[in-house]
Structure 1
């Protein structure tokens, strides 16, 4: 991600973490973990992790400076003991690696001391399979960040992100190949040192770091509560999973014909919940219908069932007074539009993914809720049908194509785009509204 202009300097490191949060959120999807580089990255990372509801820990890496000039970094040591040198810098200064042997050993000892001080007997966090965000208060040369990223990469994260408030432009370019994504708020051309971009850049002690880690441990919010539900619609019963986050800012019905147990739909729902939305993950086809009617399901029947689910959500849960959105996929996509048309006061925003939304034709003029149409491909026929349907809706709409999303449930990573596009739409059109 390219840096964008922001107001500088930052007030302090905590403010910088808050300003990073919304830029990082789309990347922190799968069981996210924020790893801060002590000491300066810790208050930045703690605030970032709090706002995106991610796990938080420190990542021990020590800069290797020149003897007599410790501020001039020419390498770094990571927690796993690996030493990374800036060989280009050493070559320019005609300094061999061997000349740094004593410095390396001293920094290795300091690294171990900090590990004991910050983590004690607590094990290092699990990294494999998680979206890991490496955070520091800024990047000057990139040596420390490079060592940290390489150490995390070896543990096989699902996605590796480097997030910093400010960085030297040259360092940004040198680090692009080390991470899957870079989130840098600003890379000023006149960059000289990280500290000059903060009003308060007070030196931090080990006590500051351990206090923040202890506070994060005490401040962990209670786990989301999930329960299986059965919702009656006429003579039929629908199976669903309702999850309520600790802090509630709205509710979203994630509806499909079938497939609510698929881990990718559960991951999409998890993204929504971490942003403060209760989720009702719902199959609109009954158990007996799934094998026979998945492709030929009656849109009107599915619309009635989704209507029943929205009514139940309003009457029987803590989301009664919260704004409600619908994410309808496949056969549930046209049903989502029917429900929005029938419940203009209850449904505040809609996202439809795939499916034949033109099948909701009679109800389209009554759809007032802001609606995002997401297509699985740019196929001209599918797009023409979707544009035709959009033109008949009574409220604001937008259309996005997620290339490759037809592989959503077949092991691809395109579900991340579905999740982040849906979250962005609900944040813009649902959060803060009242039903």
Structure 2
């Protein structure tokens, strides 16, 4: 791993991310975690920065016959990012992509509604927003989430992740006002390799992080 640090778990990664953000004297107004894996980190960041925690949701758009292979992603408001190289390398066409965009946008809205319950969507007008996830690989869902936030009146969008490959992190610099990433190892193979415990976070656990305030 080229000397890259390993995180004990998502809460540990969130605490280290919070320290890095505090050292930048970031005057944040709200933290938005990408569920589910981003919520344990988002809770740590929100508590450390003394700001509210909410969510921003996007869903992958999978290739025909291979739903795990992302050819793009779409956020809850329909904001979409397409990986043109991946798209051209599959049998997907425009009709397929638009149909999946509508389907997955609806799924993202449903997930956001389930997580928020009766809480309203936050007003991001003139706010400095910190977007938190547990790491990025291709960054498809993160890109869709950032596009979603670009369509709001947020003043500043900061992406904060513990780990990601150098190429993806470099590309994400164009999608956010600032990117804070603790580790950009050249030997990146997957986010999970940089965690001692990378167990899946259930919806129930994730929602508890969203509801708990310390």
TM-score normalised to the size of structure 1?
Answer: 0.46
Alpha-carbon contact 2:63-2:92 (below 8 Å) kept: no
Q: How many residues end up aligned between the 2 structures?
A: 212
Displacement of 1:187: 1.2
Match of 1:283 in 2: none
How far apart are the structure 2 equivalents of 1:47 and 1:98? 41
Residue 203 of structure 1 corresponds to which residue in structure 2?
200
**Relative contact order: is structure 1 or structure 2 higher (C-alpha 8 Å, sep ≥ 6)?**
2
Relative to structure 1, is the Cα distance of residues 6 and 48 closer, same or farther in structure 2, using a 3 angstrom cutoff? farther
* Contact residue 67 and residue 103 of structure 1 kept, 8 A: no
| Deviation of 1:97 (Å) | 3.3
Task: Give me the CA root mean square deviation.
Answer: 1.9
Q: Distance in 1 between matches of 2:194 and 2:91?
A: 32
CA distance in structure 2 between the partners assigned to 1:86 and 1:97 by the alignment:
13
Residue of structure 1 in register with 2:27 after alignment: 29
Select the residue among 168, 173, 193 that pairs with 2:170.
173
Following the alignment from structure 2 to structure 1, what is the Cα–Cα distance between the partners of residues 141 and 48? 25
Aligned partner (choices 38, 44, 48) of residue 45 of structure 2: 48
Q: Which runs of structure 2 are paired with 1:68-147 in the superposition (5 Å)?
A: 68-93=65-90, 95-147=92-144
CA contact (8 A) 1:77 1:83 kept: yes
Normalized against structure 2, the TM-score is what? 0.90
Which of 28, 31, 35 is the aligned partner of 1:38? Answer: 35
Which has the greater radius of gyration?
A: 1
Among residues 182, 185, 203, which one is paired with 2:182 in the alignment?
185
- Give the drift of 1:7: 4.8
Structure 1 residue runs of 5 or longer lacking an equivalent are 220-435
Q: Say whether residues 1:13 and 2:10 are aligned partners.
A: yes
The answer on whether the counterparts of 2:34 and 2:55 sit within 8 Å (CA) in structure 1 is yes
Q: Deviation string for 1:368-399 (max 9, x for gaps)? A: xxxxxxxxxxxxxxxxxxxxxxxxxxxxxxxx
